Structure 1
Amino acid sequence: MTLRSKSLEIAQSQIGVQEIPKNSNAGPAVEKYLKSVGLGKGYAWCMAFVYWSVKEASLQLNVANPLAKTAGVLSMFNEMVKLRVTTPQPGDFFIMDFGHGAGHTGFVEKILPNGKLQTIEGNTNDEGSREGYEVARRYDRKISQMKGFIRF
């Protein structure tokens, strides 16, 4: 099994995990994700969720984690220049840039018709917020909205 496929499998196992209480950026699972990048509760955690998933997969497969240890979406994009790609594949993670340092990320699970992606994201919700309260599967992210993708 590859690191990408194992990371995606681990991310899938977290679907439905929610902040406790909602909209707090806290709770046992969320704090576990944040701790993996050296942060305590209360921070946005979409990138920490991706990092934690890859870290867990790397430990299970006994391989090095290739990602920078950061909770910053745009920091990760800037650090992973050699891993950037423009055409997504399952297991990659996407990078969205909303300007002023704000971003969002999650795993690409499937490429859908009409330029859309099926994704697994932390710190989102069914409405698509980048400051949501759960790990969820989304079906409406557009490839054209992405700054890029990281393939590891």
Structure 2
Amino acid sequence: METIRLLLGIICITVVCSSRLPDRNLLSNLSAEEKIRTEILSIALAENGVREQHGKNDGKRVEQYLKHIGLPKGHAWCGAYLSWVYSKAGFSKPRTGWTPALFPVNRLVKKSMPADLFGIYFPSLKRIAHAGIVVGLKSDWVLTIEGNTNVGGSREGDGVCRKRRHLRSIAKFANWIGKERSP
């Protein structure tokens, strides 16, 4: 019995050590989809800290997000930010500022993955009125990066922020990376 434990221990140590050799590229083991998701998150997270200039949906970077979808400054821009991020990663869609359009039936998923979109439903507006990108999941919490929000989590914020939202506050998740699903 002791010999078996010793052999299993040696095998485990060999496997762990061989995966940490300095000449190994850890990203080479990622699938094509995982690489795309990593790229989307890298682009999105690089925008963390972007702020509106005067608190009126304006400012150089915010106006670039809006221009990308054909809107002038002054419009809500959480959807424009998402469209801009995906475009920088090589996607032609989504390309909209209308948050409900980010969640078509053929893109909805029950379990989200990093780089999927999330939507928050606002009963007063009777629609999804804020959206962002899933960075990860931690227990009952969704870690996110979002545009047009703030520390308080408002949909009418003033910048790009990393957030932590309770899973129950999320109405829908959408996967724009994989193939469309049949409704």
TM class, shorter-chain normalised? Answer: 0.7 to 0.9
Paired position in structure 2 for 1:24: 56
**Pairwise CA distance, 1:48:** 0.5
Equivalences for residues 35-46 of structure 1 within 5 A? 35-46=67-78
Q: 1:76 aligns with which of 89, 93, 102?
A: 102
Equivalences for residues 67-146 of structure 1 within 5 A? 67-78=93-104, 81-99=105-123, 100=125, 101=127, 103-113=129-139, 115-139=140-164, 141-146=165-170
TM-score by length of 1: 0.86
Deviations 1:14-72 (A, max 9, x none): 00000001x210000000001111101000000100100000111xxxxx42x242101
The answer for unaligned runs of 5 or more in structure 2 is 1-31, 178-183
> What SS class does the counterpart of residue 91 from structure 1 fall into?
coil
> What SS class does the counterpart of residue 89 from structure 2 fall into?
helix
- Whether the 8 Å CA contact 1:3–1:54 is kept in 2: the answer is no
**Pairwise CA distance, 1:102:** 5.2
> What SS class does the counterpart of residue 101 from structure 2 fall into?
helix
The answer for unaligned runs of 5 or more in structure 1 is 59-63
Equivalences for residues 37-76 of structure 1 within 5 A? 37-58=69-90, 64-65=91-92, 67-76=93-102
Q: CA RMSD in A?
A: 1.4
What letter matches 2:122 in structure 1?
F
Does 34-43 or 97-106 show the bigger shift?
Answer: 97-106
Structure with greater strand share of residues: 1
What letter matches 2:45 in structure 1?
Q
**Pairwise CA distance, 1:8:** 1.4
Once residues 102 and 82 of structure 1 are traced to their aligned partners in structure 2, the CA distance between those partners, rounded to angstroms, is: 16
Once residues 68 and 85 of structure 2 are traced to their aligned partners in structure 1, the CA distance between those partners, rounded to angstroms, is: 10
How many percent of aligned residue pairs carry the same amino acid? 36
Once residues 131 and 98 of structure 2 are traced to their aligned partners in structure 1, the CA distance between those partners, rounded to angstroms, is: 10
How many residues align structurally?
A: 141
